[in-house]
Structure 1
Amino acid sequence: MSRNHLPVLIIGGSGVVGAQAAAALRRLHPDLPVTIAGRDLAKAQAVAGRLGLQAVAADLARPDLGLPEAARFGAVIVFVKDDWGHAQAYAQQRGIPHLSVSSGVFEIGIEAARFIHAPQAAPIVLASQWLAGAALFPALDYAKAYRSLDAIHVGVLLDQEDMGGRAALADYERITQAGSATLTLKDGRFAWISGEEAKARYRSVDGVDLPATAYGPLDVLSLATGTDAKNIRFDLAFDVSASRRRGEPFSTETVITLDGVLQSGERRRRRYGIVHPQGQAPLTALGVALATERALGMAGGEALKPGLYFPDSIVEPSYYVARMKEFGAVFSEGRADV
């Protein structure tokens, strides 16, 4: 099936997460061609060579991305912030899927505006949820056990040694510093919080209490539209992971707390933990790969028609969670929160 697909263009594919996304796509679909693109052609070629892929130079500042006029691709994935919107326009002009992972909640108006002006051009997937869905999809899967939800709280820990490359650092600094407030859902109403209200505590998977702050990926929007929860909040701790406190390499952690009425009618507050022992990059790469295979019609249904999508509107949570486990995520499910 994948033999009939044009190459997937990964802009920023020579970075830490982009390279792993290319590898994840090849693991899921060995025959799918992938092209690594970046401003530094030598770096892109080095990464592509290790993975057995092709490489091209690309420049987001140019409307044609600096790509050869005759170049043909089946999808465009962008791992760096596209301040011009040129990659999305490039995909729309060619009628191919576009997937982005770097926007905060306060930034998606740019992508939405380009879609609104060309709604029949191409599938546009906004995949800037935390690690491209690694917290969102488990939360949605766990939520199936509830008849109604009063609250969803997601706490994540990014180890201080696990920032990744320069693009990831730029995204983190922009989202945490450029936005004056963070989106939450409080008593059924969307609310932007800042200052003291945004401060939080994160209880690590080993029980250690750490400082955290409200964070602004797209998860709050996805959870608000995907569940009936009245209160939703997402907090980030940038600290030492439990594994590193044990003297092991860094890991990435997610703690999901759900409070509501189970399908059985019993009221229950539950806490779930998810750890990936290799940090954030493998999960981000997997999330991008799963959204891409769905957009191309290689899993879960036919290729996407033109439209504006979140990953959770096109990928089944149970499938995503199963793939997370296959790719090394460790789940501690159903623990009661004390």
Structure 2
Amino acid sequence: MSANTKKPVLIIGGAGLTGSQAARTLRRLQPELPITIGGRDIAKAQSLARELGGADSVKIDLERPDLGLPEGMAFSAVVVFVKDDTLHSMKYAQAKGIPYLSISTGAFELGPEVALYIHKPSSAPILMASHWLAGTATLPTLYFAREFQRIEAIEIGAVLDEQDIGGPAAQADFERQANATPNAMILVDGKWRWVGPEEAARTFKGVDGTEIQARAYSLFDGLSLAAATDARSVRCDFALRQSANHRPGEPFSTEFIIEIVGQLRDGRTARVRHELVHPGGQAPMTALGVAVGVERLLGLAGGPPVAPGLYLPESVIDPAYMVQRLKEFGAQFRRV
């Protein structure tokens, strides 16, 4: 480990439902990496720190520019699992010159973070991972896209079990983003459009063959996929319903239906469908997306530490590496 990674990664919201899974996942990927669990409930944070080993806990106050942290504390990175309306957490990371990773910003509200980066572009690496489950849909999609020489359209259908919406922070994110704008942003025939309820609606076939009614959702996935593939049409749709594998007494799953239309490398035109299912639901997917982002930022996997800059997951993480890790952590893939 480098001298910098001997300092702990500060996980704000790390004692929550998904944050705690991310901390456990990061510990599994990087057994020697110190971790600090930050939150408002110090008892929960302390309990998780004891479970992890090589970890400690701290109370966080996002209303304060210093986050309420004791003077002299030092970290290797800051990871945020809650919506920080003050952006004090990002400013703190910039002031310390350490990586920052966030996952709770909608596509319609990325302006403040981008502006803060523009004013201090050389201060720290900023990884904007506010994609569906922290990039674990987008990165596999880019991996599947490699069999195409030209892509016309990408459609992702995400199914979240109605009992798997997550903890309080995740529910707050969902409600804020659903209520903040009545329209959704999609790419249609080369043009970005904000579409109303009628055009935002789409039906796709689930992994069990049932027809699923979904609605376009404005996270960062569409932005990443359009920029990375030059596809002329991109949309990401979301459905909240009972997942295909969820039966009484059985766990719920999270499902991605990924469909790509274009010209294959052998010259044929095709529509290829991939199904990605995790039987443990959304939390392990999000946790892995964040953990892989942290280890990449710190140079613990995939290359040297990431230099100061503004990044999306696909600009620093190899899609093949994410697919490999997803399989190791229980995700199931099927190409149709």
TM-score relative to the length of structure 2: 0.97
- 2:42 is the counterpart of 1:47: no
The residue number in structure 1 matching 2:37 is 36
Cα shift at 1:247: 6.0
Unaligned runs of 5+ in 2: none
Q: Is the 8 A contact 2:203 2:212 kept in 1?
A: yes
Q: Is the 8 A contact 2:36 2:57 kept in 1?
A: yes
Q: Is the 8 A contact 1:3 1:31 kept in 2?
A: no
Q: Is the 8 A contact 2:4 2:76 kept in 1?
A: no
Cα shift at 1:3: 7.0
The residue number in structure 2 matching 1:258 is 260
Unaligned runs of 5+ in 1: none
Once the two structures are superposed, the pairs formed by residues 174-189 of structure 1 within 5 Å of their partners are: 174-189=176-191
CA distance in structure 2 between the partners assigned to 1:195 and 1:217 by the alignment:
17
Specify whether residues 245 and 194 from structure 1 end up closer, same or farther in structure 2 by C-alpha distance, changes over 3 A only: farther
CA distance in structure 1 between the partners assigned to 2:231 and 2:250 by the alignment:
37
Q: Secondary structure at the match of 2:186?
A: strand
Specify whether residues 326 and 2 from structure 1 end up closer, same or farther in structure 2 by C-alpha distance, changes over 3 A only: farther
Q: Pick from 154, 158, 161: which aligns with 1:159?
A: 161
- 2:292 is the counterpart of 1:296: no
Amino acid at match of 2:9: V
Q: Secondary structure at the match of 1:287?
A: helix
CA distance in structure 2 between the partners assigned to 1:103 and 1:330 by the alignment:
28
Q: Pick from 196, 200, 219: which aligns with 2:198?
A: 196
Amino acid at match of 2:134: A
Amino acid at match of 1:281: A
Q: Is the 8 A contact 1:2 1:29 kept in 2?
A: no
The number of residue pairs the alignment matches comes to: 334
CA distance in structure 1 between the partners assigned to 2:238 and 2:172 by the alignment:
16
Q: Calculate percent identity across the aligned residue pairs.
A: 53
Q: Secondary structure at the match of 1:264?
A: coil
CA RMSD of aligned residues (A): 1.2
1:110-143: CA deviation from partner (whole Å, max 9, x where unpaired): 1101101111110000000110111101110111
CA distance in structure 1 between the partners assigned to 2:312 and 2:280 by the alignment:
26
- 2:24 is the counterpart of 1:11: no
Cα shift at 1:181: 1.8
Amino acid at match of 2:26: L
Q: Is the 8 A contact 2:13 2:80 kept in 1?
A: yes
Q: Secondary structure at the match of 2:166?
A: coil
CA distance in structure 1 between the partners assigned to 2:295 and 2:115 by the alignment:
25
Cα shift at 1:97: 0.3
Q: Secondary structure at the match of 1:244?
A: coil
The residue number in structure 2 matching 1:64 is 66
Specify whether residues 140 and 248 from structure 1 end up closer, same or farther in structure 2 by C-alpha distance, changes over 3 A only: same
CA distance in structure 2 between the partners assigned to 1:327 and 1:177 by the alignment:
33
Cα shift at 1:235: 0.3
The residue number in structure 2 matching 1:278 is 280
Cα shift at 1:50: 2.1
Q: Secondary structure at the match of 1:223?
A: helix
Q: Secondary structure at the match of 2:85?
A: coil
Q: Secondary structure at the match of 1:77?
A: strand
Q: Secondary structure at the match of 1:243?
A: coil
The residue number in structure 2 matching 1:27 is 28
Q: Is the 8 A contact 2:182 2:197 kept in 1?
A: no
Cα shift at 1:180: 3.0
CA distance in structure 2 between the partners assigned to 1:180 and 1:118 by the alignment:
33
Q: Is the 8 A contact 1:200 1:214 kept in 2?
A: yes
